[in-house]
Copies of this chain bind each other. A is one copy, B any other.
Amino acid sequence: MILCDVGNTSVDLFYAGKRTKLSAEDFDPATIYDTVYFASVNAVFNERVRDYTNWYNVRKFIDWDKYYPTMGIDRIMVCEAIDNGVIVDAGSAVTVDVMQNALYQGGFISLGLRAAREAYARVSPALDVSFNFEVDLAKMAKNTPDALTVGFLAPLICRIKELGKPIYLTGGDAVLLSRYLPEATVDEDLIFAGMKKLIEKGSKC
């Protein structure tokens, strides 16, 4: 069994604990004979795999009463991985969700680090500077890079900490955010853990 996370630009395959990232555009689903369970945000890709009988969309395993209709499938998958805790998925957006006794409590969406930096640059050329990840978030800043880094990260970290524990970090900027949340568990494969759990649950029904 292969697990597959399909984004708008890439296809992330997970097999025997290892990940392989490929371009979504170039990827040919016919090259895989094994059973594939996939979570996809890519409508074009979904069309392409529709007629392959070994490709299963995990969407149909989701209990939609637990979540909301416009909620991203990748976000639901990381939530499915955790029964109790705060799940932070730091990618192009930072999604923060709360699970309690395997029930979804709701969440929120912040900008991703890159999106935030680009948005500052658009506000003013004076704010077109890099973040300084060495900054102490507890201190008030006295220069522009620190003022932006503290301005974006201190509020976000403050709110995440307020939500309680345990905290799970995943996504491309998980390691970076873990500097400010040392008590959090970093698990870059959380989406696949969620998919696996959901499939196993589904097959028991």
Contact between B110 and A140, CB atoms less than 8 A apart = no
The listed residue (B105, B123, B154, B156) touching A140 by CB distance below 8 A is: B105
Give chain B residues whose Cβ lies under 8 Å from the Cβ of A158.
155, 158-159, 162
Closest to A145 in B: B70
Give chain B residues whose Cβ lies under 8 Å from the Cβ of A71.
144
Distance (whole angstroms) from the CB of A181 to the closest CB of chain B: 13
Contact between B144 and A108, CB atoms less than 8 A apart = no
Bound-state Cα–Cα, A141 to B107, Å: 5
Interface residues of A in 150-205 (CB under 8 A from B): 150-152, 154-156, 158-159, 162
Give chain B residues whose Cβ lies under 8 Å from the Cβ of A126.
70, 72
Contact between A107 and B70, CB atoms less than 8 A apart = no
Contact between A142 and B68, CB atoms less than 8 A apart = yes
Chain A, residues 92-105, CB within 8 Å of chain B (1/0): the string is 11101110000011
Q: Is the interface of A mostly helix, strand, loop or mixed?
A: mixed
Chain A contact residues (Cβ within 8 angstroms of B): what range? 35 or more
Interface residues of A in 110-134 (CB under 8 A from B): 110-112, 115-116, 118-120, 122-124, 126-127
Contact between B68 and A110, CB atoms less than 8 A apart = no
A29 interface residue per 8 A CB criterion: no
Give chain B residues whose Cβ lies under 8 Å from the Cβ of A143.
68, 70
Distance (whole angstroms) from the CB of A82 to the closest CB of chain B: 14
Contact between A111 and B119, CB atoms less than 8 A apart = yes
Distance (whole angstroms) from the CB of A132 to the closest CB of chain B: 12
Bound-state Cα–Cα, A97 to B111, Å: 22
A2 interface residue per 8 A CB criterion: no
Distance (whole angstroms) from the CB of A117 to the closest CB of chain B: 10
The CB with the most chain B CB atoms within 10 A, among A92, A98, A155, A159, is that of A155
Closest 5 CB pairs of A and B: A106-B140, A155-B155, A119-B119, A108-B151, A155-B159
